[in-house]
Amino acid sequence: MDFDTGSSDFWVFSTLLPSSESAGHTLYNASASKHSSLESGETWSINYGDGSGASGVIYSDRVVLAGVTATSQAVEAATSVSSAFTSDTQNDGLVGLAFDGLNTASPSKVPTFFQTVQKSLFEPVFASALRHNAAGTYDFGWIDPSKYTGKITYTPVSNSSGYWEITANGYAVGSGATVSESLTSIVDTGTTLIYMPDDLLNAYYSQVNGSSDSSDAGGWIFPCDATLPDISFEIGSKEFTVPGSYINYSPYTDDTCYGGMQSSDGFPFNVLGDVFIKSQYIVWAPTVPQMGFAAP
């Protein structure tokens, strides 16, 4: 399952899909499930920022995730998924971890998995410890002191959009001075890269010899052996740093690589995606709402 702080639908690949869309996936079969019952009349349909999407019907069923049991969870069973999901055989569904506002169930919204289980947790929080080029973990209901160093810095969250939205006060490229700029950003595990305004990107990639904003590549590329500066974001009164190596996202041609930080131009907000999230231990506290950041 793809744990996704950028959406609020808990949905799964199901036996209701045509085999052309479900090939290679493990399927939820409600009719074979002991505790399932159809939520008659309820449907869902979601579109994500990259144009992918899915839709279907809704059952309630007993769900166990990470050892946490939801005795009656709204399970959104897909009857249709876009090709991006079909080809992503690493995932058989999404666990939406954002706020109510983004849930697409109709005519009545349904709770996310976390909303269903949060009252049963020791603390109403979850935490992400994702890692660069290594398996990561999520903690539900507690904060694991073995996963971070120093103090956790908390910052307020605006959840009116349904996203985990924070405002960074500025940024610094490498060891350079902090540039004050209000960066309204969603913190989104469902988005792979960091998306920031063009002025920040120009300040960053101007420090990378041979970099260019390529229309062919659809963004900033650079020689794969380039030295990439760190990028720090000022959240609250502290700097949170993404190591430069994380910005070397993927090969584009034999010797050029595609940047892990690209333009948010045209987006409704900036996005601190997985490239950022992997550099921190993050506590997600929806009842406040606030988020906490600490170095891993």
Ligand X SMILES: O=C(Cc1ccccc1)Nn1cnc2ccccc21
User: Smallest distance from the beta carbon of 13 to ligand X, in angstroms?
Assistant: 14
d(C-alpha 104, C-alpha 46), whole Å? 6
Residue (6 or 259) nearer to ligand X, CB: 6
Stretch that binds ligand X, among 66-74, 120-128, 186-194, 284-292 (CB under 6 A): 186-194
Tell me whether residue 60 or residue 191 sits nearer to ligand X (CB atom): 191
Q: How far is the CB of 262 from ligand X (least distance, A)?
A: 11
Quick note: the x/- pattern for ligand X over 141-180, rule CB under 6 A, is ----------------------------------------
Question: Is residue 191 within the footprint of ligand X (CB under 6 A)?
Answer: yes
Residues involved in catalysis: 4, 188
User: How far from the centroid of its chain's Cα atoms is residue 113's Cα?
Assistant: 16
* Other C-beta atoms lying within 10 Å of the C-beta of residue 31: 9
Q: Which of 3, 4, 30, 193 binds ligand X (CB under 6 A)?
A: 4
Q: Other CB atoms closer than 10 Å to residue 182's CB: what's the count? A: 9
Rule CB under 6 A: say whether 292 interacts with ligand X: no
Q: How far apart are CA 270 and CA 288, in angstroms?
A: 22
| 24 Cβ neighbours under 8 A, 6+ residues apart | 86, 89
Q: Are 4 and 96 contacting, i.e. CB atoms less than 8 angstroms apart?
A: yes
Q: Which residues, 80 to 99, sit near ligand X by CB under 6 A?
A: none
Q: Out of 6, 56, 229, 260, name the contact with ligand X by CB under 6 A.
A: 6
Amino acid at residue number 105? A
> Six-digit token pair at 260?
């892990």
The number of residues that bind ligand X (CB under 6 A) is 12
Residues near 25 by beta carbon (within 8 Å), at least 6 away in sequence: 13, 86, 89, 92
52 binds ligand X per the rule CB under 6 A: yes
Residues lying near ligand X in the complex (CB under 6 A) are found at 4, 6-7, 48-50, 52, 188, 190-191, 267, 271
